[in-house]
Structure 1
């Protein structure tokens, strides 16, 4: 039996999330249900449920489970929400979001990652996720507003192109903000009647968010 099929491995996965403060039962249940081993590189499947980030194609990463759970919990998702994700990666975060919301639009600048994530999500039956090849700083073709926005790569500051897409009635945006090569702070922005309210959450480290669509990959 492989490590990813070992019940104690999954039990420790859940225990680690609870010990680190994740308390939302819907988030915990979703983290247990989404098969993380199918979103990591084949050679990393035995480590899929360790609480650590893992490398994927194009020099990107799949975030550690705690960070995925924490960001998801901070979004306070509801079933009727429309969600925008910047940085598809392997598609794991989008899969988690899709179980807790109405629809997810996830944008990826690397064609290799976008195509692989789209195929992976379709194969697993995630039919409320749209994967789009695009630029997270210049979202051409994206229409309407979103109840929730999540950025899974580090931005030095949040562009107005993103906050402008945030639903006016209590919309929430979560993003890692800070220097590209160093520690960042996970920031939550809430749109209220009086404007945008910012709260710094925890220190994190993400790969940088880059403008444009990648030419080679």
Structure 2
């Protein structure tokens, strides 16, 4: 039934209940992969897979599985989410793993700088402390300074750089970084991401007051 109605949440729920009753999730990963062949980003299949690997401790091979999907399609945001989920709930964020994931996501950003999910993953790997990796952030600052005019394709890069500079301003009382951040927030508000104009203006006004 699932193969014919892959978005019917009642069938997914029923299957989950059956797994609970049987105390067996051994066939579920293979089943979700059949669904992914039809729809790689099927929300219900991903939700079921995450439930089953956590419920039955089936994390072995999951990190590699997510990475392989991202190698094939860097825009598979479900795979980005699954990669974070698996690390968060299995190995944890040791320095070695954090370093490895920083390298992986940087490589993918070189391929798709406009992918918001990859930028969100980068922030999550850094535990949302952007100044924790100043060399990495300074590299993005330099990249933004020399980037060619490509419309709003680099708005996520600009947002990351602005947030990094704002964080640096608060940490080091660095007014120069704060001024640069305000300039980028203004650019985001007016040209790069006007849909969220109010948000960028709010960040800009808060930072300007601190400066």
| TM-score normalised by length of structure 2 | 0.28
Q: Which has the higher contact order (CA 8 A, sep 6+)?
A: 1
Instruction: Flag the structure with higher strand content.
Output: 1
